[in-house]
């Protein structure tokens, strides 16, 4: 019962704000609006929230903020005298935002309380997508849903198959093949020759037993249209190569290595452009068997990383050293170093390097 009473008081307060002695007051005719169901192609929808100054002094709206960039507010900019009315107009843009929505708008005034929340909601009926929007990547008239075939996680030594839809938009048959394909990857189209207007798929097979690598790996292959290269038509194939520890016994887990790192964040402070910052992450193998550093990768070519050792005995300590080269960069920097090990509980660890690069004099 108390919760119900409190909700009623909050609702009442949001609808009507009593004027303070000598102050301004605001009363909206409504604080919520439902646009209902409407088509995406109908474009932006606007609703005016009208209000009245119920106080004895001029009412001023200092600012209005929306919870989303899809929502744009406009409002009465001049002071509203006692007894006069004003408005807050809220516009919602449904483009590329299908389905139900609920957004809030905060209105800041010189009343008490100072902040008032307006709510808009509705349900956008998706428009029919064009062929170009469905098949976004154009390879000389044959369009792909994407130029990136992502296999996500693949266990080392295993195979995985992934497909992607394609369509031939030309007036002639097309045979797609691929050049510069690495040994661990096989790509083919089904059917091998696409008739005019025909849909098909690219079938990719990733053999993780034929690649000596760990973590995120991508390959750039060239698309050939009837045996000829198509300008700038390169297809990205990626996978995250992981180790499978799910079959390990309790004894194996108890005797496993442990990547025990002191700190996963390093702040190099402030440096100037063209200067370098030395970075060091200390760690220890707290486990009972050899810890192996499988791979160390930086998110940016500006950071070079070197592990002091790649095999660390049980009980031993070591460091991962890195150098950040500021170059022409400026402002706050945030880089990530990924370390892949044979620790079954922390096989992939992200180390964060941050700092600020000051402009050179």
Q: Tens of pLDDT along 181-203?
A: 999 999 999 999 999 999 999 99
Does the residue 2 lie in any domain? no
Length of the chain: 361
Instruction: Please give the mean pLDDT across all residues of the chain.
Output: 91
Q: Are residues 292 and 217 in the same domain?
A: no
Give the pLDDT of residue 233. 84
Give the pLDDT of residue 21. 57
Give the pLDDT of residue 229. 87
Given 193, 213, 242, which residue is the final one in a domain?
A: 242
The mean-pLDDT minimum among 18-22, 145-149, 160-164, 174-178 falls in 18-22
Q: Are residues 44 and 115 in the same domain?
A: yes
Give the pLDDT of residue 20. 53
Does the residue 4 lie in any domain? no
Distances (CA, A) of 50 to 27, 33, 82, 157: 8, 12, 15, 66
Q: Tens of pLDDT along 259-302?
A: 999 999 999 999 999 999 999 999 999 999 999 999 999 988 88
Does the residue 7 lie in any domain? no
Q: Are residues 57 and 117 in the same domain?
A: yes
- Does residue 219 surpass a pLDDT of 80? yes
For 133-144, what is the HEC assignment?
HHCCEEECCEEE
Q: In this structure, what CATH number is given to the domain that contains residue 75? A: 2.60.40.10
Percent of the chain at pLDDT exceeding 70: 94
Q: Are residues 271 and 349 in the same domain?
A: yes
Q: Are residues 341 and 254 in the same domain?
A: yes
- Does residue 319 surpass a pLDDT of 80? yes
If you average pLDDT over residues 159-175, what whole number do you get?
96
Given 96, 125, 154, which residue is the final one in a domain?
A: 125
Given 109, 125, 141, which residue is the final one in a domain?
A: 125
Q: Are residues 143 and 121 in the same domain?
A: no
Q: Are residues 232 and 327 in the same domain?
A: no
Give the pLDDT of residue 230. 81
Does the residue 220 lie in any domain? yes
Q: Are residues 236 and 337 in the same domain?
A: no
Q: Are residues 349 and 277 in the same domain?
A: yes
Q: Are residues 107 and 141 in the same domain?
A: no
Give the pLDDT of residue 312. 96
Give the pLDDT of residue 361. 74
Range of the domain at 206: 131-242
More confident residue, 360 or 321: 321
Does the residue 21 lie in any domain? yes
Does the residue 115 lie in any domain? yes
pLDDT band per the 50, 70, 90 thresholds, residue 11: very low
pLDDT band per the 50, 70, 90 thresholds, residue 2: very low
pLDDT band per the 50, 70, 90 thresholds, residue 306: confident
Give the pLDDT of residue 13. 41
pTM (2 decimals)? 0.70
More confident residue, 9 or 177: 177
Picking from 291, 296, 282, the residue whose alpha carbon sits closest to that of residue 311 is 291
3-state secondary structure of 210: helix
Give the pLDDT of residue 231. 78
- Does residue 328 surpass a pLDDT of 50? yes
Name the pairing type of β-strands 303-307 and 276-285: unpaired
CB of 181 within 8 A of CB of 187?
Answer: yes
Does the residue 5 lie in any domain? no
CB of 239 within 8 A of CB of 161?
Answer: no
Give the pLDDT of residue 104. 97
Query: HSE of 95 in the Cβ direction (CA atoms, 13 Å)?
Result: 7
Does the residue 9 lie in any domain? no
Q: Are residues 102 and 145 in the same domain?
A: no
Q: Are residues 262 and 351 in the same domain?
A: yes
If you average pLDDT over residues 133-138, what whole number do you get?
93
Tell the residue number behind the tokens 């693949």, with chain if given. 154
- Domains identified in the chain, total number: 3
């Amino acid at each position: 019962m108390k919760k119900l009473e409190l909700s009623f008081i909050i609702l009442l307060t949001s609808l009507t704000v009593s004027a303070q002695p000598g102050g301004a007051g605001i009363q909206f005719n409504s604080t919520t609006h439902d646009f209902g169901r409407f088509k995406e192609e109908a474009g932006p929808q606007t609703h005016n929230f009208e209000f009245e100054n119920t106080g004895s002094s001029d009412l001023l709206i200092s600012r209005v903020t929306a919870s989303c960039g899809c929502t744009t507010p406009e409002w009465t900019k001049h002071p509203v005298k006692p007894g006069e009315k004003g408005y807050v107009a809220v516009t919602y843009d449904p483009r590329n935002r299908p389905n139900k929505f609920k957004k809030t708008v905060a209105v800041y005034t010189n009343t008490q309380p100072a902040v008032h929340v307006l709510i808009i909601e509705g349900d956008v009926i998706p428009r029919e997508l064009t062929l170009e929007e469905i098949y976004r990547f154009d390879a000389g008239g044959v369009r792909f849903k994407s130029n990136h075939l992502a296999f996500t996680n693949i266990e080392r030594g295993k195979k995985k198959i992934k497909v992607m839809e394609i369509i031939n938009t030309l007036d002639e048959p097309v045979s797609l093949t691929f050049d510069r394909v690495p040994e661990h990857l096989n790509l083919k189209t089904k059917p091998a020759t696409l008739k005019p207007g025909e849909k098909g798929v690219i079938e990719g097979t990733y053999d993780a037993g034929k690649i000596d690598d760990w973590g995120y790996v991508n390959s750039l292959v060239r698309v050939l249209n009837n045996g000829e290269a198509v300008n700038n038509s390169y297809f990205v194939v990626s996978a995250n190569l992981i180790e499978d520890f799910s079959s390990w016994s309790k004894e194996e887990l108890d005797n496993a290595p442990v990547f025990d790192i002191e700190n996963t964040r390093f702040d190099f402070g402030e440096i100037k452009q063209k200067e370098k910052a030395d970075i060091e992450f200390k760690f220890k193998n707290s486990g009972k068997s050899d810890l192996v550093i499988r791979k160390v990768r930086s998110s940016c070519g500006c950071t070079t990383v070197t592990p002091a050792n790649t095999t660390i005995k049980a009980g031993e300590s070591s460091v991962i050293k890195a150098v950040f080269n500021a170059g022409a960069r400026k402002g706050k920097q945030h880089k990530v170093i990924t370390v892949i090990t044979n620790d079954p509980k922390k096989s992939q660890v992200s180390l964060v390097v941050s700092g600020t690069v000051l402009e050179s004099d």
